[in-house]
Structure 1
Amino acid sequence: MQGLKPYAGLLVVSLEQAVAAPLASCHFAQGGARVIKIEREGEGDFARKYDSAVKGTASYFAWANHGKESLCLDIKRPEDAALLERLLARADIFLQNLAPGAIDRAGFGSEALRRKYPRLITCDISGYGESGAFAEMKAYDFLVQCESGLVAVNGAPGHPGRIGVSVCDIGASMNAIIGLQKALIARGITGQGSAVKLSLFDTAADWMTVPLMHTVYAGKAPQPVGLHHPSIAPYGGFTTADGQVLAISIQNEREWVKLCADVFERPEIAVDPRFCNAAARVKNRPDTDMMVAAYFAKRTRAEMEARLRAASIAYGAVNSVADFASHPALRRAPVTLEDGQEADLVAPPVRHSFEPEIPQLGRVPKVGEHSTAIRAEFA
């Protein structure tokens, strides 16, 4: 079974840009599908110019576009629109994340396409859905983080903060993959394609379920608390004697008793009325944190790690990205860039027994690199 490509034989046509749709279609390319990425003539997907960090290639683009073929089209031209029709007549999946209404105005709306091609699965990724007052709003990742309240529960006290990666784009991509896999299974049962629709806002809203429930039913929204947790203590980063920061997370009373007895060697703290249960520790968080911080400040990181590990207390280092780059648990996989150079991406997080431990990622295509060949093939 080694080397199995479960999506082999599938044709995915993706009219895509930025991150959400490209990352989803890249998953199918990695699984053996043929993915034809449709780009604007000239500059192509604007994500190609986000940065030049990876030996001249944009980091986002290298991450989300390896293993695809690039076809430049202007679907406002009749001959290019006709070529797209021929592609879709043979496609299994059509994925798009253009501005709301753009794909319908171009004559390639998902409902009309599935009437013409009953086995076709369509996937539309939008910012805020396809109807309502926000449908026409631009939906960059940061703005969706703001609108959904994600920034309101992140950051430091009094200073809400953007999450440092494009989580709404990435989450929407993952939801698209889940939706498309369900649609493929459904087609295997019924023989009919179906529509997959999702938005960045719905993705963020799903993640905000717990803060929303606290607000609606308990009358109080969680506030940004930095490395701390609004309802757990001790929980956060504490500085050691040699200037390192270790994070601990005490999830239950058993762990709290072990921390006091086996790490602090002060079992009496566990029954102190100020700290004897989770609610008391949160109520007295300044005192709780001051006590923990004082203990950490007298010992080096190595000493604290040894004590925490011996007591089976959950901990982790608060690493910089540079620290993360040399982390022993970090898995990497090589990718070939547009100009033939190689770089290392983070290896895909899901591992299968039928794939090699270090997967072979496809090459990142140049703008329109496959246009001539595809036009000839689908003439």
Structure 2
Amino acid sequence: MNAAQPASTPAALPLAGITVVDLTRVLAGPACTQMLADLGARVIKVEQPGCGDDARAIGPFVEGVSAYFMSMNRNKESIALDLKDVQDRAIFERLLDSADILAENFRPGTLEKLGYSWEALRARYPRLIFASISGFGQTGPYHRQPAYDMVVQAMSGMMSVTGHGADAPCRVGVSIGDLAAGLYSVIGIQSALMRRMHTQRGERLDVSMLDCQVALLENAVARLEATGSVPNPIGTRHPSMAPFDAYTAQDGRFVIAVGNDSAFVRLCEVLELPALAHDARFATNSTRCEHQAQLKVLLEQRLQQAPRTHWIALLEESGVPTGLYQTVAEMVSHPQVQARHMLTTVITPTGQPLRVASNPLLNATGQSVVRRQPPALDADRAAILQELGM
């Protein structure tokens, strides 16, 4: 764990008392259930006997243990069950007797073939919230097609607005197709829990990775509809605000984000470029966007006369949004990241510590993020069976 954790008395976590039976694997589903676990839910991860979650075999590895798996499965228990085996099915159904949520991210139709359709589950477990995460959802012509993050980034148009040119397609540098679906699933599950307080009934949640990518294309869809022009990749700059980009100073890159005309005037004052504030090409945000290339050249001519820390200090003092361009290695040591406890440590089954991203929702609770280490495959079987009286 981080040496410096919040010192306040821990508050009760919001999902304490909620039980999740977790059939998910790899990323979208485990990201969802890890957040539920971080927020206090009991998450029982049901894995395939022998191999477990596919993520256990995905690198990088720390002493033979997948760092990929470790980063998405803290605070969970593990039991290995074969849902085609009669005895294991009995255990699974006993788990559902006391579960609030069943989460899965199989290809649509998989659980139905095993006898666990929504209709069957709803009849037997009327309060159960059944969350299904898939590439394309439970309906539509593509609903039975497999998908990974790359597929939905490409099909959604996300890749078409990412990078520096249409001739070199570029995916977002993290698996945003999976992570967005995981986050939307958490929102949906918590909304269903709230509704169940009034109705006493569970419901089916149908979360599509492709849908979630489309939902993230706020500006791109609006621009297409408003202007009729197809959005293209434009690198680091903003499509409708300027100057709003990465800039090169004497010793490296940093970003400046000017959101209105008054901030642009302050920027010109800081850079001692008063003529720019009165230049007709840059008088308003719309004209600055039209002439953003010329404006960037003029700004960088000045910015390259001093190191970026010099400019950042002046811009921060004047209230112009700015920040360092950092690598991941630089980010993990940044004082703001450290102060907000956004890194935590999990321990592999072999005792090796591994630093991972933390949960941004837990800063104010005073709770440690890691209350249970990521489980070895089937690690909790004996305790779970004893609890079930089996």
Choose which of 315, 332, 337 in structure 1 pairs with 2:348: 337
Aligned partners of 1:223 and 1:230 also within 8 Å:
no
Q: Confirm whether residue 299 of structure 1 aligns to residue 306 of structure 2.
A: yes
Quote the residue 1:366 is aligned against.
376
CA–CA distance in structure 1, aligned partners of residues 244 and 62 of structure 2? 36
Quote the residue 1:232 is aligned against.
241
Choose which of 184, 190, 195 in structure 1 pairs with 2:204: 195
Quote the residue 2:133 is aligned against.
125
String of CA shifts for 1:84-140, please: whole Å, max 9, x gaps: 112112211111111121011111122320111111111111111112221122110
String of CA shifts for 1:189-225, please: whole Å, max 9, x gaps: 1211122221111111111133122213420122211
Which residue identity lines up with residue 100 of structure 1 in the other structure? P
Quote the residue 1:152 is aligned against.
160
Deviation of the 1:54 alpha carbon:
4.5
Tell me the TM-score normalised to structure 2 length. Answer: 0.91
Choose which of 182, 199, 203 in structure 2 pairs with 1:173: 182
Quote the residue 1:69 is aligned against.
77
Aligned partners of 2:75 and 2:370 also within 8 Å:
no
Deviation of the 1:35 alpha carbon:
1.3
Which residue identity lines up with residue 285 of structure 1 in the other structure? Q
Which structure 2 residue ranges, 5 or more long, are not aligned? 1-8
Instruction: Percent identity, please.
Output: 34
Q: Confirm whether residue 45 of structure 1 aligns to residue 53 of structure 2.
A: yes
Deviation of the 1:306 alpha carbon:
2.6
Choose which of 342, 366, 376 in structure 2 pairs with 1:355: 366
Ranges of 4+ aligned residues in structure 1 off by more than 6 Å? none
CA–CA distance in structure 1, aligned partners of residues 42 and 317 of structure 2? 50
CA–CA distance in structure 1, aligned partners of residues 178 and 244 of structure 2? 29
String of CA shifts for 1:275-315, please: whole Å, max 9, x gaps: 21122222222211110111111111232123222322111
CA–CA distance in structure 1, aligned partners of residues 284 and 236 of structure 2? 21
Which residue identity lines up with residue 27 of structure 1 in the other structure? M
User: What secondary structure, in the 3-state scheme, does the structure 2 residue paired with 1:160 have?
Assistant: coil
CA–CA distance in structure 1, aligned partners of residues 24 and 313 of structure 2? 49
Aligned partners of 1:247 and 1:315 also within 8 Å:
yes
For residues 46 and 224 of structure 1, do their structure 2 counterparts lie closer, same or farther at Cα, with a shift above 3 Å needed?
A: same
Choose which of 258, 263, 271 in structure 2 pairs with 1:264: 271
What pairs up with 1:100-139 in 2 under 5 angstroms?
Answer: 100-139=108-147
User: What secondary structure, in the 3-state scheme, does the structure 1 residue paired with 2:40 have?
Assistant: coil
Which residue identity lines up with residue 27 of structure 2 in the other structure? V
Which residue identity lines up with residue 134 of structure 2 in the other structure? S
Deviation of the 1:60 alpha carbon:
2.7
Aligned partners of 1:141 and 1:168 also within 8 Å:
yes
CA–CA distance in structure 2, aligned partners of residues 353 and 318 of structure 1? 28
Aligned partners of 1:229 and 1:236 also within 8 Å:
yes
Q: After the TM superposition, which of the residue ranges 178-187 and 368-377 deviates more from structure 2?
A: 368-377
CA–CA distance in structure 2, aligned partners of residues 189 and 17 of structure 1? 31
User: What secondary structure, in the 3-state scheme, does the structure 2 residue paired with 1:350 have?
Assistant: coil
User: What secondary structure, in the 3-state scheme, does the structure 2 residue paired with 1:373 have?
Assistant: helix
Which residue identity lines up with residue 180 of structure 2 in the other structure? G
CA–CA distance in structure 2, aligned partners of residues 163 and 289 of structure 1? 24
For residues 209 and 307 of structure 1, do their structure 2 counterparts lie closer, same or farther at Cα, with a shift above 3 Å needed?
A: closer
User: What secondary structure, in the 3-state scheme, does the structure 2 residue paired with 1:334 have?
Assistant: strand
User: What secondary structure, in the 3-state scheme, does the structure 1 residue paired with 2:178 have?
Assistant: helix
Greater RCO between the two (CA within 8 Å, min separation 6)?
A: 2
CA–CA distance in structure 1, aligned partners of residues 199 and 187 of structure 2? 18
Tell me the TM-score normalised to structure 1 length. Answer: 0.94
Aligned partners of 1:8 and 1:34 also within 8 Å:
yes
For residues 90 and 304 of structure 1, do their structure 2 counterparts lie closer, same or farther at Cα, with a shift above 3 Å needed?
A: same
Deviation of the 1:352 alpha carbon:
5.7
Aligned partners of 1:168 and 1:203 also within 8 Å:
yes
Quote the residue 2:5 is aligned against.
none
For residues 266 and 8 of structure 1, do their structure 2 counterparts lie closer, same or farther at Cα, with a shift above 3 Å needed?
A: closer
CA–CA distance in structure 2, aligned partners of residues 131 and 375 of structure 1? 36
Which structure 1 residue ranges, 5 or more long, are not aligned? none
Q: Aligned residues, how many?
A: 376
Quote the residue 1:11 is aligned against.
19
Q: After the TM superposition, which of the residue ranges 318-327 and 368-377 deviates more from structure 2?
A: 368-377
Q: Over aligned residue pairs, what C-alpha RMSD do you find?
A: 1.8
User: What secondary structure, in the 3-state scheme, does the structure 2 residue paired with 1:64 have?
Assistant: coil
For residues 134 and 317 of structure 1, do their structure 2 counterparts lie closer, same or farther at Cα, with a shift above 3 Å needed?
A: same
Aligned partners of 1:237 and 1:248 also within 8 Å:
yes
Quote the residue 2:106 is aligned against.
98
Choose which of 347, 357, 360 in structure 2 pairs with 1:346: 357
Aligned partners of 2:62 and 2:352 also within 8 Å:
no
